[in-house]
Amino acid sequence: MADRDGSRAPREPAPIADHGLIGGTRTAVLVTGDGTIDWCCLPGFDGTPVFGALLGGPGAGRFRMGPLDPAAPVARRYRENTATLETTWATGGGRLVLAEAMVAEVAGRLLPATVLVRRLSAEDAPVTAVVDFDPRWGEHHRRPRTRRGPGLVCDFGRLALSLGSDPPLEITPARPATITVEPGRPVTVVLAAAYGEPLIHVVPSTAWDLVSADEARWQEWAGAVHRDLPFRPAVVRSLLTLRLLTYSPSGAPVAAPTTSLPEDPGGVRNWDYRYTWPRDASIGVATFLGTGRPAEAERFLGWLLHASRLDRPRLPALLTLMGCRVPTERTLDGWPGYAASHPVRVGNAAAGQHQLDGYGWVLDAAWAYVRAGHRLNSETWRAMRGFTDQVARQWQDPDAGIWEIRGDAAHHVHSKLMGWLALDRALRIGEGHRLGEAQRRRWLTAREELAAEVRDRGFDPVRHSYTRTYGSDDLDAALLLLPGLGFEADGSSRARGTVDAVRAELSAGGPLLYRYPPGRDGLPGGEGAFLPCSFWLVEALARTGRRGEALELFEELLGLATPLGLYGEELDPATGAHLGNFPQALTHSALVQAALALRDTAPGTPGRPQRTG
């Protein structure tokens, strides 16, 4: 926020849920309700922060455009079926409107890789506003070298920024400028970025035309989403969010555009999610296939094939956006973190874990693609056979599990079920693709042995539920995926018993669930309810014959979204605050999958398939 003279005033960090997402399919920015961009990495999602105040404090950079006097928004929305964010404030007898977007899919056009457009408009009366542009670079908040013409150029070495405006404004980094916005005379500001390539200045009027053209393309894109989806507006917003979190040069979906937003405010549960998990990419295949967007599904499958090439037949738990190994995890010195939650981490040590479940997600995605009428090419099928052979060899080993516990590996029942799924789906694909008899028998034997072991060692007959690990008393909300796998027969009492036990014992109140019993992961402090699990519960209820309950639960969960329809990873059951990295791709994918389950189980819906992905 700025004082009356335009200078800076200290401020509390905005709630995580107060942030809107603006994306261009290469990187994204988070912007608060007062018009402050406090997070942006360049040149991509996993790049270096240039506006990092969200985690690094005021000295880490920010970019604010909004009313000079403090004012809460009176309206905030995405323009329907677009990626353009619009915020309205009432101040000084007038209304100030900020419309902002990034230009998407710049490849093939003479444009910078990143173009951010922000436009202030006044209604009813002139409004005094502020433009506070303060880019910094990297861990140590380096200030830029600057020069004029055209507009303002900020030079950080390999990274260069161009800031232009219409009408022309005298903008100096770290010195807030007070301006008057007149009705009918909007102020358009364009930020262009180039990394290791020539910097192209974009004329503000041209940039605004690009945003208008993008809006038309997004509306056309959304229009192709299936019309029979229940709660379609929420589904479309989630699909748009997932698309904005997809790195267009490679087709990789990023788990979230942020690092180190806390699962436990003030605690140490702060992780870097600016990478791609094959699990998330696989869920994306089924998500987009099921909603009428096959091109996105094919792009995700293509990324999986490319990204896994260096490690096959082993499947890494996560990779960079270009399919390389994730940097070694480290902490940023001197960064206070969000609400004093530190350390602030870059890199992710989970990249070295063995996670058996990833193979199941990937093979299930390939099966979904085949079942949708496509055929795997020879290279893709060869990769899938290699993954399946790896499962057949390694399924008896303990693993880190879907929740990436940083402790001793264990025999996680969900992981075993997903190993079974990999073998099952590979056998199904093999019915229509070339598969040797010896390999087929090996997979079949492993599938049957794995299933027998899980039913024997992973099931608690007293509670009539599968458990978190072999022989444990804990439950795992990931087991809510069981009803859609085909591991248990339709109407299975074991599947229903597991759903009921998880719902009862891992309840965090209302529609919320913990992913496992709190405090059972070896880390200090607690955490919130894990939002994807609640959407998995919707799906599980629908698939075990309780669609009415599922509908009620889904409606409750829609009420927990931010005003912009976004979700984080977790929710504080006591306060309703969103926690963790934001927005979270897995939560939005789980929302779409829950809607698909509601559609598929609707009365009079013939021939709908079970869940995949």
Average pLDDT of the chain is 94
pLDDT digits (tens, 9 = 90+) for 247-276: 999 999 999 999 999 999 999 999 999 999
Q: What is the 3-state secondary structure (H, E, C) of 106-117?
A: CCCCCCCCEEEE
pLDDT over 80 at 278, yes or no: yes
The amino acid sitting at 420 is W
pLDDT classification of 11: cutoffs 50, 70, 90: low
Per-residue pLDDT band at 108 (split at 50, 70, 90): low
d(CA 89, CA 70) in angstroms, rounded, equals 10
pLDDT of residue 116: 98
291 phi and psi angles, rounded to 5 deg: -110, 5
Query: Which of 3.40.640.10, 3.40.50.1970, 2.70.98.10, 1.10.10.10 would CATH assign to domain 16-199?
Result: 2.70.98.10
* The predicted structure's pLDDT at residue 49: 97
Q: How far is it, in rounded angstroms, from Cα 521 to Cα 60?
A: 33
Per-residue model confidence (pLDDT) at position 576 = 96
* Residue 309, pLDDT score: 87
For residue 57 the two structure tokens come to 């404090």
What average pLDDT does the segment 112-135 reach? 96
Domain ranges of the chain: 16-199, 230-600
Q: What is the pLDDT of residue 604?
A: 76
Number of Cβ within 10 Å of residue 131's Cβ equals: 25
The model's confidence at residue 107, banded by pLDDT at 50, 70 and 90, is low
Q: For 230-600, CATH number?
A: 1.50.10.10
Task: Name the least confident of 3-12, 332-341, 469-478, 522-531.
Answer: 3-12
Q: What percentage of residues in the chain have a pLDDT greater than 90? A: 86
Is the fold of 16-199 the same as that of 230-600? Answer: no
Q: Token pair of 98, please?
A: 């900020």
Residue-wise pLDDT for 309-368, tens only, equals 889 999 999 999 999 999 999 999 999 999 999 999 999 999 999 999 999 999 999 999
Length of the chain: 613
Which residues fall within 8 angstroms of residue 180, CB to CB, at 6 or more apart?
A: 126, 127, 128, 129
pLDDT at residue 111, as a whole number? 85
Q: What is the 3-state secondary structure (H, E, C) of 212-255?
A: HHHHHHHHHHHHCCCCCCCCHHHHHHHHHHHHHCEECCCCEECC
Residue 147, Cβ density class (10 Å: 0-12 exposed, 13-18 middle, ≥19 buried): exposed
Which pLDDT score is estimated for 520? Answer: 84
Of residues 113 and 552, more confidently modeled: 552
Asked if the model's pLDDT at residue 503 lies above 50, the reply is yes
CA angle 210, 562, 500 (to 5 degrees): 130
Q: What tens digit of pLDDT does each residue of 63-80 get?
A: 999 999 888 999 999 999
Assess contact for 76 and 88: CB atoms under 8 A: yes
Q: Is the pLDDT of residue 483 over 90?
A: yes
- pLDDT of res. 408: 82
Grade residue 1 by pLDDT with cuts at 50, 70 and 90. Answer: very low
Res 453 pLDDT > 80: yes
What's residue 4's pLDDT?
39
Predicted pLDDT at 150: 84
